[in-house]
Chain A
């Protein structure tokens, strides 16, 4: 199946692609609400994971998504595989390919690995996070969650706050949110912004207090401790003082504004412990929607392309 389709990044998608995936997600959210939340849509298809980096929610939600679609799954765990015996990425991929898989879900600490894998295999490649580059299914579930809470993204103002430069979530979200019509402001100290945002459809700010009253969504990124060692920040304490979403800052938000975070959260650093649990926090919804979004992605790449109602029997019998 040469010419297989892939999901490598949001930057390459057009608005129609994103909207198609979000519409599909609606159908799979419905499946998820059933007493027996499983459909035969990908029966006979095999999906495997190639995770070179630890992950809890992405890995589990892809697995749950594949199982709900009745796909066969092959589990590949780097810590127990031949990678530990020095097997190269290329050889590992060739081995998996030889076993016959329809899709490989790739996570790697290096940007661009899914693109390389896509050149080596005949099946579909899904990027589950590559280095600082992209995390497209996270962006899709973020869009779905925002739409669910606020009705759509067109005309909204989203602030993405924190370590933008080292964040694949930020890069994917910038493309997804702006393609769907939102305005995006990146809020970060200059050391945590990309060296250049030339060509990015965003505004940049350094004063969180000034931005918060104007936003519909405040999206917080995980702050990693390594950044202190690289002289990018003086201390976590100073980061929290300037860029943390404290209880005081929450009061600057409009009534309907929501708080998002891709997880895992550092409570007390980028987000105050009690803020994470406020009703306006959508963090748990993000995780919940992750399964349906990943079902949509798998179905979009591997499904029959036939009538959805035929692939999702039971919709009317419910």
Chain B
């Protein structure tokens, strides 16, 4: 395996910031050398990190890789490449594939395909068989394969009693249950946020309460069972207030938000372009402000992409018929750096070591950049500007809502397991 020297950058991790060069050998960090020592690191490959931040690789808790079943939209290979270009060294595959990741067989297939991919592909699994909301998946068997997070993402677990049992059962396994909070009856198939815009546009809306009642219920169930709940892609002011209160009560809850929920509002739907259709839907200005405030105040544990590729023909349907979801892996970091008024250390905490800890991936990802650690790194140029061009994204799909948007902050190199998979913003395989 080629050795790599990452030279001229500033190392930033959970322990602080320092100017240092990093030597990678045999998949591990072999040395971290302060630049003031003036020592030249010899390696097979030298990566220029001048003007850059050298950080632990990013970790995404919410990636739809679409394989098996919807390979026309994304594959594990293409999704992992998009992830690496976005600075992610680890992604967590969502289980709403066809078939769903609800058995050891499907989970093994995903993990096997992931081994050939250019980042660390881990998998979640469904809480219920077929994500149908009636019968628990073999959680112990799946946990033994390394599954650390269970979710029926795409839908929420509607049955409160079943969710209670799932939390109780999972507590013996040390795994997290993650919830896509949406009361399906209350949301009623709404295509966008319900309110002034949906009323004006004549589109069926889903009220914020459809999300909030499930957040409330699951907080009650976490209190009841002592179970560990992670709330996925929260999008409303009240959802974040509920989670803040639950945390203040000492409950074992965490939450994520997506870049689109802190950068876009429901007003974008006025174009009737289904690229802006996503679930939970884009919300109001006030909700966007609340999501940003929740991030700044530490209520939000991590930023997750909810990367949801869809083939062009799927997004060329009428707005109310098109599937929800938007790309996220290649824009998430730049959106956070451009639109959140946070120091880069805090952005990295939200996108690297905190999400890594939630799924127990902190053995390999998000840890300090230190000798002996697994070499999963991203090198970020925080001042580079670029324009989002859907045709230049590595994802097999092009449903980004950020076409033409100018962003600041770009991933220059990504090292996964000691291999330079992205060099100078180009995927190496």
CA distance A130 to B199 in the complex (A): 14
A127 CB to closest chain B CB (Å) equals 11
- A112 and B313 form a contact (CB under 8 A): no
Give 1 or 0 for each of A133-146: 1 = CB within 8 Å of chain B CB: 11000000000000
Also in contact, A112 and B203, with CB within 8 A (given A88-B316, A88-B317, A89-B317): yes
Give 1 or 0 for each of B178-212: 1 = CB within 8 Å of chain A CB: 00000000000000001110111111010100000
Q: Is the interface of A mostly helix, strand, loop or mixed?
A: loop
CA distance A259 to B313 in the complex (A): 45
Interface size class of A (residues with CB under 8 A): 20 to 34
B278 CB to closest chain A CB (Å) equals 16
Also in contact, A110 and B198, with CB within 8 A (given A90-B313, A115-B271, A116-B273): no
- B199 and A195 form a contact (CB under 8 A): yes
- B202 and A130 form a contact (CB under 8 A): yes
Partner of A112, one of B195, B201, B207, B316: B201
B361 CB to closest chain A CB (Å) equals 40
Give 1 or 0 for each of A68-95: 1 = CB within 8 Å of chain B CB: 0000000000000000000011100000
- A195 and B318 form a contact (CB under 8 A): no
- A131 and B202 form a contact (CB under 8 A): yes
- B273 and A111 form a contact (CB under 8 A): no
Give the residue name and chain of the A residue nearest to B320 (CB). A110
* Chain B binder among A22-30, A40-48, A196-204, A306-314: A196-204
Determine if B353 is an interface residue (Cβ-Cβ < 8 Å): no
Q: Which B residues lie within 8 Å of A88 (CB)?
A: 313, 316-317
Q: Which A residues lie within 8 Å of B428 (CB)?
A: none
- B207 and A108 form a contact (CB under 8 A): no
Q: Is the interface of B mostly helix, strand, loop or mixed?
A: loop
Determine if A211 is an interface residue (Cβ-Cβ < 8 Å): no
- A134 and B205 form a contact (CB under 8 A): no
Central interface residue in B195, B198, B199, B207, by most chain A CB within 10 Å: B199
- A115 and B272 form a contact (CB under 8 A): yes
Determine if A294 is an interface residue (Cβ-Cβ < 8 Å): no
Determine if A132 is an interface residue (Cβ-Cβ < 8 Å): yes
CA distance A287 to B202 in the complex (A): 24
B386 CB to closest chain A CB (Å) equals 25
Q: Which A residues lie within 8 Å of B272 (CB)?
A: 111-113, 115-116
Determine if A263 is an interface residue (Cβ-Cβ < 8 Å): no
A132 CB to closest chain B CB (Å) equals 3
Determine if A234 is an interface residue (Cβ-Cβ < 8 Å): no
Determine if B231 is an interface residue (Cβ-Cβ < 8 Å): no
Determine if A171 is an interface residue (Cβ-Cβ < 8 Å): yes
- A111 and B202 form a contact (CB under 8 A): yes
Partner of B318, one of A89, A165, A171, A194: A89
Determine if B150 is an interface residue (Cβ-Cβ < 8 Å): no
Q: Which B residues lie within 8 Å of A116 (CB)?
A: 272-273, 316, 318-319
- B195 and A195 form a contact (CB under 8 A): yes
A310 CB to closest chain B CB (Å) equals 38
A201 CB to closest chain B CB (Å) equals 12
- B207 and A111 form a contact (CB under 8 A): no
Give the residue name and chain of the B residue nearest to A171 (CB). B202
- B201 and A111 form a contact (CB under 8 A): yes
- B318 and A133 form a contact (CB under 8 A): no
By a beta-carbon cutoff of 8 Å, the part of chain A in contact with chain B is: 11, 88-90, 108, 110-113, 115-116, 119, 130-134, 165, 168, 171, 194-200
Going nearest first, the 8 A-B pairs with the smallest beta carbon separation are: A112-B272, A110-B318, A133-B202, A132-B202, A194-B199, A111-B202, A198-B196, A90-B316
By a beta-carbon cutoff of 8 Å, the part of chain B in contact with chain A is: 194-196, 198-203, 205, 207, 271-273, 313, 316-321
- Beyond A111-B202, A115-B272, A195-B205, 5 extra complex contacts between A and B, CB < 8 Å: A88-B313, A89-B318, A110-B321, A132-B202, A200-B199
